[in-house]
Amino acid sequence: MMKKFLSRYFPLLPVSIVLLSTMFSHSCANTTQAPTGGLKDTIPPVIVKVSPKPGSTNVPQSGTQVVFTFNEYVTVKDPKNIYLSPPQAKAPKYKIKGKSLVVYFEEDLLPDMTYTIDLTGAVVDNNESNPFPGYTTWFSTGDTADSMYVTGNVYDCNNLMPVKGATVMLYKDHADSAVMLSRPVAAVKTDDWGFFSIRNIKDTLYRAYAVVDANGNNIYDPDEDRIAFLDSLFKPVNVVSEDIPELKKYDMKDTSACLARKAEIDLVVFREKPSKQMVMNKKRTSDRGSYITFLAPEVRIDSLWFKGFPSDKIISEFNIQQDSLLLWINDSGPMPDTLHLFVNYWKTDTLGVLNPVTEDFKLVDENRPKGRAQRRKVERQDTICPITLKTAPETFEQNGIVMEFADPPFLGDFDTLSLKSVNPKQIEQQERFTIERDSLNIRRYIIKPDVQVMQGYEYIFKVPYRSFRDINGHWNDSTQVKVSLPNDETLSTFTLNVSDVDRKFIVEMLDEKKANVIRQFIIDSDSALLFPYLKAGKYCIRITEDANRNGIVDTGNLLGHRQPEKVKFLRTNDSDSFDIPERSEIVQELNMSEFMGFKKENSSDGND
């Protein structure tokens, strides 16, 4: 227990203590016999010496080696976690020499610079692979060592979960482009909790970033990496001291100790929209259908056409990000084996400048049967108009039934569609319903009951045979879907009464793992939001400020100095999730402006 205590809070033991323990060990152990077994070693290795000593100054710029000597034989589990700050173009090298880890560098160190080497997550003992909690040493190539530090947390913008292994970077160059052009003057990796402490830095103004560095080059690559940035410059205010809890290394399973650490700044990482524009993929999906995708959203297309077909025969459908385009040829004549698609759009050239280009893409129908024998084998589903009907009992009241075609319908008789209810006594009744086409998908329709949906009733929506004909000339088969509201007496409801709403928000209930959206509301005024039919368990409420009112969570932009749209989770007892017991009706009040931290604008014009 003493060794465990010392290894956690005092990873650098004085050499004298180790020598003293060695003297006493001769009287306690029989060195003439091999060990006969015993309890498994679960104690991590301990550092007993570092050379040069922590805080050393005037360390040579060339040929420097930093030697970490342990109380047992160790090995390096992850070399990437031997992290030098400020980082060099090439990562530090290492070798094992006895019980020592020797770290050396392929480049000369900079003059008058304070360096740190962090070993968190790099080292395990040689026998049982017990992880070394970590240790940071520091030295200077100048006359003095810098002594300030800063702490913080890094979170993911979508779920606010901590980001492990992000590289937090500090720059004295205050231009946002610096993170894309040069390496930082100080950096460190976040731990399992997304926490970081950058120590032994100068007392000056910094820009702060966090980069999920895909290739480990300590430079931000917008097309590969995720990034976070602090809105304003900051200056460290705290001085390094070895008894500061935030600078110590902890077992990541020690939840209470890890959560007790104080963070000065928070960084929220996001993935920028790609900066380069070009065609990424294209494919012919059916006889008359195809798609084309682009690297960056909001592509600018001046014109597009299929060879041999007039423009008024082309049906197109963009996704909401405008980086994917579905295309169909609305022509009843025979289609060629290969379609030639011409796209005149603005593409990024080798200098990073957008210029108009026209590209020709050959789209081959790879599924088309070759020869008369293969055409006889065409399955029936290849000659019908596919329709899918989707609904869920828990969201039937809110979302209704989704009817989606594989290809755009050319002819349709919506009057043939029917919705009927069957009550508990098996009495059927035709019900009124509404049909609305999705504004973003010309093949999707939303069917909603125009009556109050009742528990204990079954609802059947039917699409009769030959109600629709698609652009391929195929008619639909008969299809239907049945749905009933959940009727389990153990289910619960949660009502969120939202007040002081002065802008648009997306309010979602998610499962405990934040993986699935159970129900979503988009609001722009005070609302009572009902989340019914909940099984006992843990849930999360995620609230997103929809700043541009487009109904989706938009990412940030570094050079535009725009953060991702603000996301917060409703918290109870220091947790993002809360319990819903069986057979309960829970009502929660929420003042949106206070919760999101928005300041009230002063309505006074100052002329009172």
Give me the DSSP letters along 79-132.
GGGSEEES--SSPPEEEEETTEEEEE-SSPPPTT-EEEEE-TTTEEETTT-PBP
pLDDT at 372: 57
Domain harbouring 106, CATH code: 2.60.40.1220
Residue 138 lies in a domain: yes
* Total number of residues shown for the chain: 608
**What number is the average pLDDT over the span 580-597?**
95
Residue 582 lies in a domain: yes
Residue 544 lies in a domain: yes
What is the spatial distance between Cα 364 and Cα 339, in angstroms, rounded to a whole number? 6
Name the pLDDT band for 347 (thresholds 50, 70, 90).
very high
Q: Which domain holds residue 217?
A: 146-271
Q: What is the pLDDT of residues 44-56, one digit of tens each?
A: 999 999 999 999 9
Boundary-marking domain end, from 484, 513, 532? 484
Domain harbouring 430, CATH code: 2.60.40.3710
Residues sharing a CB contact under 8 Å with residue 73, sequence separation 6 or more, in sequence order: 98, 99, 125, 126, 127
pLDDT at 369: 65
Tell me: pLDDT of 375 over 70.
no
Name the pLDDT band for 332 (thresholds 50, 70, 90).
confident
Same domain, 254 and 327: no
What is the spatial distance between Cα 33 and Cα 23, in angstroms, rounded to a whole number? 19
Same domain, 138 and 2: yes
Other CB atoms within 10 Å distance of the CB of residue 257? 14
Residue 344 lies in a domain: yes
Tell me: pLDDT of 38 over 60.
no
Tell me: pLDDT of 188 over 70.
yes
SS3 letters for 45-89? CCEEEEECCCCECCCCCCCCEEEEEECCCEEECCHHHCEEECCCC
The answer to whether residues 154 and 267 touch, using CB atoms and an 8 Å cutoff, is yes
Same domain, 110 and 15: yes
Q: What is the pLDDT of residues 415-427, one digit of tens each?
A: 999 999 999 999 9
How many structural domains comprise the chain?
5
Same domain, 109 and 14: yes
Q: What is the CA radius of gyration of the chain?
A: 32
Same domain, 8 and 138: yes
Same domain, 166 and 185: yes
What is the spatial distance between Cα 525 and Cα 259, in angstroms, rounded to a whole number? 36
Boundary-marking domain end, from 464, 484, 504? 484
Residue 395 lies in a domain: yes
Same domain, 255 and 348: no
Tell me: pLDDT of 465 over 50.
yes
Name the pLDDT band for 376 (thresholds 50, 70, 90).
low
The answer to whether residues 247 and 302 touch, using CB atoms and an 8 Å cutoff, is no
pLDDT at 23: 38
Q: What is the pLDDT of residues 108-144, one digit of tens each?
A: 999 999 999 999 989 999 888 899 989 999 999 999 9
pLDDT at 374: 56
Predicted TM-score (pTM) of the model is 0.77
Tell me: pLDDT of 478 over 60.
yes
Same domain, 105 and 235: no
Same domain, 328 and 391: no
Tell me: pLDDT of 275 over 90.
no
pLDDT at 28: 41
Tell me: pLDDT of 558 over 50.
yes
Q: What is the pLDDT of residues 68-99, one digit of tens each?
A: 999 999 999 999 999 999 999 999 999 999 99
Q: What is the pLDDT of residues 250-259, one digit of tens each?
A: 989 999 999 9
Same domain, 3 and 60: yes
Tell me: pLDDT of 599 over 80.
no
Same domain, 138 and 1: yes
Rounded to the nearest 5 percent, the helix, strand and coil shares of the chain are: 10, 40, 50
**What number is the average pLDDT over the span 310-327?**
93
Domain harbouring 340, CATH code: 2.60.40
Q: Which of 329-338, 352-361, 364-373 has the lowest mean pLDDT?
A: 364-373
Same domain, 163 and 228: yes
Residue 123 lies in a domain: yes
pLDDT at 135: 95
Tell me: pLDDT of 377 over 60.
no
Residue 55 lies in a domain: yes
Boundary-marking domain end, from 457, 484, 511? 484
**What number is the average pLDDT over the span 314-339?**
93
Name the pLDDT band for 286 (thresholds 50, 70, 90).
confident
pLDDT at 112: 97
Share of the chain above pLDDT 90, in %: 77
**What number is the average pLDDT over the span 361-368?**
86
pLDDT at 607: 46
What are the DSSP calls for 400-433, one per residue? Answer: -EEEEESS-EEEE-GGG-EEEEE-TT--EEE--E
Residues sharing a CB contact under 8 Å with residue 528, sequence separation 6 or more, in sequence order: 495, 496, 497, 498
Residue 607 lies in a domain: no
Tell me: pLDDT of 605 over 70.
no
Domain harbouring 232, CATH code: 2.60.40.10
**What number is the average pLDDT over the span 503-515?**
93
Q: How much is the mean pLDDT over the chain?
A: 89
Tell me: pLDDT of 19 over 50.
no
**What number is the average pLDDT over the span 480-508?**
95
